[in-house]
Amino acid sequence: MKLTVEDLVNIGRGAAFLGTGGGGDPYIGRMLATSAIQEFGMPEIIEPDQLDDDATVLTIAMLGAPTVLTEKAACGDDVDLAIKRMEEKLGRKADALIPIEIGGVNSMLPIMAAARLGIPLVDADGMGRAFPEIQMVTFNVYGVSCTPLAVTDDHLNALVIETGSAKRAEDLVRVSSIELGCSVIMSSYPMNGKQVKDYAVHGTMTLALEIGRAINRGRKEGDPVEALVDYLQTTPYYNQCKVIFDGKVTDLRRETTKGFSIGHCHLTALDGSGRTMEVAFQNEHLVARENGELRAIVPDLICMVDRETAEPIPVEALKYGQRIKVMGVSAAPIMRTPQSLEVFGPKAFGLGEEFVPIEDL
């Protein structure tokens, strides 16, 4: 996969869509990646199958509340330090990096990191979307240890965390991130190449790029939302997709608490029918209910886009009166297994409903 700086715009837009409201603002990530590429050159993007089975692969990501991530970005040295601390703890150098999630800023930060460090970036991630907590990845579901885990901030404070479970690591990292300003750099889930091949969601950077291109193409041809749906229907993971609501924002509650952006968005249909939809979120959209009836639920994707331009709208950019189309999109099959649903299904977020695939709703 050969990237150009111009491709970053489309990757960022596609990643914002896959971020399902969270993952941080990809514009910030694009600026960071562009700056690193100008200084260090474009990193090599490789397929999982190009990795040696014993290669050392590390994740790199920003963690915190999206409302804070838009104002408190990485400085670069903090990214280098997180990888350095992991390499020191493991006693070996990283052969490649991989995004922990493809959504939002965390699609771009790994490009920045790979450029700065001069090592390849794997075209894959741990979920094919974004999720708020670090245990909510396929790597954890299938037995990869989350720790050792390195956390750094823009003042180059650094912590290395070791725990017996990914959920305990999440609890400790979340408390640490609050103390460090609700925006930190994190490297975790040290893996070998075989584990990446077996447990990652493959090809998601390419998919983000093509989603962005589809939106751009639709803007030129007249209906970007339709163009987006048409493209998604050709993909291996996101082929079950539909606009499930067309309305305007009539009520919004959003607060930054416990290291997350938590709340709900209410929409009223634009067709005069009086129908309403509520979308609840914890960084990412979790559940959509129309007139109280379930329309989409995690781990499937609930994505909000501008009804005219198909521009993805993150949680922190929601505003009263916005005209929005809400889309329901199928998650990757590996995200829907019984093992996966135990980790990031509805019950993991305290929701009362059972998971029902979007195509059955």
CATH number for the domain including 49? 3.40.1610.10
Residue type for position 309: T
Question: Token digits for 357?
Answer: 């695939």
Q: What is the pLDDT of residues 43-57, one digit of tens each?
A: 999 999 999 999 999
What pTM value is reported for the model?
0.94
DSSP 39-106: HH-PPPEE-GGGS-TT-EEEEEEEEE-HHHHTTS---SHHHHHHHHHHHHHHTS--SEEEES--SGGG
Is 126 among the domain residues? yes
Is 46 among the domain residues? yes
Is 1 among the domain residues? no
Phi, psi dihedrals of residue 158, rounded to the nearest 5°: -140, 140
Is 230 among the domain residues? no
Number of domains in the chain: 2
Contact yes or no for 244/326 (Cβ under 8 A) = yes
Looking at the structure, tell me whether residues 113 and 173 fall in a common domain: yes
Looking at the structure, tell me whether residues 96 and 244 fall in a common domain: no
Angle (CA) 358-337-225 rounded to 5° is 30
Token pair 């450029």 in the structure block, residue: 115
pLDDT of residue 339: 96
Pairing type for strands 56-64 and 96-99 reads parallel
Looking at the structure, tell me whether residues 185 and 308 fall in a common domain: no
Q: What is the pLDDT of residues 150-186, one digit of tens each?
A: 999 989 999 999 999 999 999 999 999 888 887 899 9
Looking at the structure, tell me whether residues 252 and 348 fall in a common domain: yes
Looking at the structure, tell me whether residues 193 and 243 fall in a common domain: no
Looking at the structure, tell me whether residues 183 and 243 fall in a common domain: no
Task: Give the structural domain span for 107.
Answer: 7-202
Looking up residue 253, the CATH number of its domain turns out to be 2.40.390.10
- Name the pLDDT band for 65 (thresholds 50, 70, 90): low
Looking at the structure, tell me whether residues 288 and 141 fall in a common domain: no
